[in-house]
Structure 1
Amino acid sequence: MAKLGEGDKRWIVEDRPDGTNVHNWHWSETDCLDWSRNFLSNLLGNKTLLSGEGNLFIKTKKLDKLEGEAYVNVRKGKIIPGYELNLVLSYEAEAKDSDGKSVLLTTEGSVEVPYISDENAGEDPEIRITIKDDGPVGKRLKDAFIAKGKPFVFEKIREYVDVMSKGGPAKDDLEVKKVSVKKPVSGSAAAAAAAAPPPKAGGSSEKEGKKKEKKKEGFKTITMTEKFSCRAKDLYEILLDENRWKGFTQSNAKIVKEVGGEFSIFDGSVTGKNMELQEGKLIVQQWRFGSWPDGIVSTVRLTFEEPNSGTTVVKLTHTDVPEEDRYGNATVVENTERGWRDLIFHRIRGVFGFGI
């Protein structure tokens, strides 16, 4: 995960002179580390967990440490949180005798959660619970904290994760920017609109044409030509063989080598279907990345030519590649092009010795 302030500057637009990020169109990055420290301190600190049950008393003290990074990116109203945090919380514990009058032990302990990350937002993180006194009474107090305090800590971390997913400290600012004031329509403007002639009958086809053009806005086409020192049929076979895919990508792959056959490559991050196959000459497939918005499918067309014996030229045309993924990241085209070049073509050369 990129650290705060170290993102690709091409995708972070400098502030406007008037300080406005209209409709949150551009990247807006908010540092949330101090806010996270205060938020988690309020959630976790100075909370009573046991107040005499079984003659045990346990209370959290304060958040001793919260280190790492936390930020929220917003673009086009989409919230993308990022955080990697290490948390340490202290607690105090006391045990009394069976009559509840004499104190058997007063001690302290700590709770460490070494890795709270947006990558594992749906899972409870690892937790380490220690206590200073490791005798029988101390062990009893530690077990009581595990039973009562561990669920409490997890619950509060989930609250933090939920608030971060909604924007954290950037949420209020985001809500303000969503509000738009509509100017009232003047009487003359309303009258002009009412008097406007109805659209011509022949205008519908023109509008439909414009709609068709708009459907392709936000998509790009990738083209690439690569040479390999091999026969065209050998390269064709490699690209449709799941075991060879596993070999040169070092990832899981499943490929049904027939027209209409489905495939899954790069550990399932790319899925698709074979649309047209001509042995040693042509592969046409549907490709979809899991990070793309729902319903978007691209088309990959690979043609194989053998101008000289033992030399193959592959021409790639990858159409309908979205400019942004479902999270608003505008690096899809760049990453897809680099993936074809570095993770597929260059690795095939390196693994199978097809270099030019």
Structure 2
Amino acid sequence: MAKWGEGDPRWIVEERPDGTNVNNWHWVEKNATGWSKDKLKELLVGMVIEDEEYFGELTELTSIDGEATANNRKAKLIFFYEWVLKGEWSGKLKSGDKKHKGKFNIPNLSEENDADEVDVEFTCNTQTDESYKVKEFLRKKGTKEIQNKLAKYIADLKQEYGKGVILPTKNGQPDAKKLTNSTNKAREELNKLVVSSPKKESKVGVKIHTKKLTGKHEFMCSAQDLYRSLTDIGMVQAFTGGPVEMEVEKGGRFSLMHGNVTGEFVDLVPGKKMVQRWRVKSWPDAHYSEVTLDFEEKEGVTELFLTQTGVPDSEFERTKEGWVINYWNRIKQTFGYGANIF
């Protein structure tokens, strides 16, 4: 038996001043949606865009549609945010008095894009030469300035919600190295399932040491709804955020996450059970695991039991974490099947 203070550091409670979520090992999620809406209004409404010839202003945000969360998994910060912003602008030539008005649209503010990759679209309410010139000025000069404001939103989100998600260790401060590393782009975390060391040459027929992976996860939905989220192409595209190819039938093939996860359906019992041959692109050539998902519906919730055999030893931890990050948490967040922890 390990002595007090020794053993697996994940479970050494005395090293934490509050004795909870030891070493930040467990998944913690904080809802940043309300704060984000206020911050986006603060940054964008009233924003002035001008030069020697033109004056423009973002007068209103008419729609802020989306959500944002901050998550801690094994002392790594992961931020999910996805917004569609719509608003109104006004502007004029400085040499004249006539004001022109129009609308702007920001359709793709999310963790999948850097701030300078976010699209900003402008339209005019009237079609005149002068209104077109003002609109084009806002598009050319305003897009970059708006992107800079969105970059500040992203930085402020990470600073504001990073404070309470990575909890202090015994010295009263978060691990600086972990905190820095954890603020990498969320898209890298979403791809954790398929990120690996440079692939070594592998030959078909070489013996591969494998492990069995099991897990139990709870979702606030019916078994049929959870089953659909894994078999309906539109729903799978929604939570994976990428193209999906899927033939939902026995022997049907599937490919998702940009071809990094592939396989075929072995057995399908809607709302009850699913069996797949399943592999990640970085695994040894032609090597497949067998994934069995059993759905058990109880009052108000569905329990999902995962059994995966044939996982390569070297990929075990990455695969285990990948299921949580790339599948279960994304399904809960996308479709509202999980409860947030504040």
TM-score of the pair, normalised by structure 1? 0.47
Higher relative contact order (CA 8 A, sep 6+): 2
Higher gyration radius (CA)? 1
TM-score of the pair, normalised by structure 2? 0.48
